[in-house]
A and B are shown apart, each in its own frame.
Chain A
């Protein structure tokens, strides 16, 4: 079932910025109200897509990546994913584990939120954790520099 929210007077809408009051959507999923371009209380989403270079930096042990999402808020949820290739084959969500007893840092960490439009992701110096089909956590490396595909999804 569909529910009509609003119907405009003419058959064709005016462009954003036309000077007329209207609602319009931007590519990140935000809905804005023009006359003052204020964002309504909608939630937007940003995805890096599958890449070996997050924020222009090769993903490898201990690397630090600045992800610019332009969502305009620090109230975000973040998931980091890994896959075998650029098509996203064999995707896994990257968890984070800090093993204090042996000083191991594994996985992907949200290290820092510099502003409302970006986050900084750090990759563990000792690789990433995985879980086998019987529920056992094991550890694996990031692979050779520039070969591990990652995707960061930010919602907020």
Chain B
């Protein structure tokens, strides 16, 4: 068991969760007090001693599920007990084998049996969801994985592939619609009964009830999805062992998610992480400004105070520090490929705008527009970022990135306003669709502004490949920074202020 824990801690560290030696000891101590067979209790107690931040919980959970997964014969991928000749048999045979075993092992007669038709399975799924029957949902998930995922032992495919295959066959959106229409018609039936029997007011599904019902079903479907995911993972663990799998399923911490390739769920996690991050960054910067440096020597004050010590300047006085706050100009590409990255950066910069004397933001695709006005007198940058998407006027010709044109227009219209106090941040992957680069604008900007930085959300290896011309701009910038994750972004902005 201790070996398992050590391996588990190693995996957590590999996933980026800092686990100190004391915490490891605590976890080992904790395991003595908790019944090992109570899996949920074990998960929470280990979590309490190993994971010290809620943002890390998701990564922890995944690792836990893998390392302490339920193991047993029913989770083997090749369901047939005979094993050896299994791989040659066709799919149908395998599914039957699995189905039979489940029927025996779990005593779920309705679900098991000699393999169900897809219609029966769909029907069962529908009933399970309608009745909110947890055990049944779990059974359906198992069946669905067996039937649709087409898992093969030893096949080096990620879990997401199997998940996709299973979900595609289940058509959950369709199921949701069916559930809703069923609910509607059942109220209508009730309504008919009532109107025939008495003078009761007609019962209809109000929009409020409808909304609640939809959320209810959606929650159940999410539960099913999680169940399917668990099932697939369990089988993969049984097939490949925990360590190999942990590596392939490792979920990045929110601050390490690659913004450009984030999935929808990851984007939600990112948005959640961004708010506390910007708040912490603002506190840190304010503190740095308050303490830290002292101003230059205040000669007059020093001499005056030295009179009490007979003219010996024992206690030198310093001027109150007034570090100048930089002025920030953000020019961001918001075309499809880098849109989410631009949004996060704008959000972060404006959230800590009190740390800058002025923040101006511009967005472009092939046209360019100033969006600072959206952020004025708004407490929460989220709304403003939303409005940028809908209201900013950034299309000039065809809505494909044209850095050259955007920069030229910027120079003509706002170039005068760049002063030696401004730091200019350029955001984008510099994929210019083979338009002219107009790099001279950056050169001019560099001559006027205090600094010009380029933040590129692409991995450094991809720079200057294909239509990326970041190199042409880079020669005129103070620095070009690879900025793919919130951690990198936070670091950059922190250094800037």
A pairs with B: no
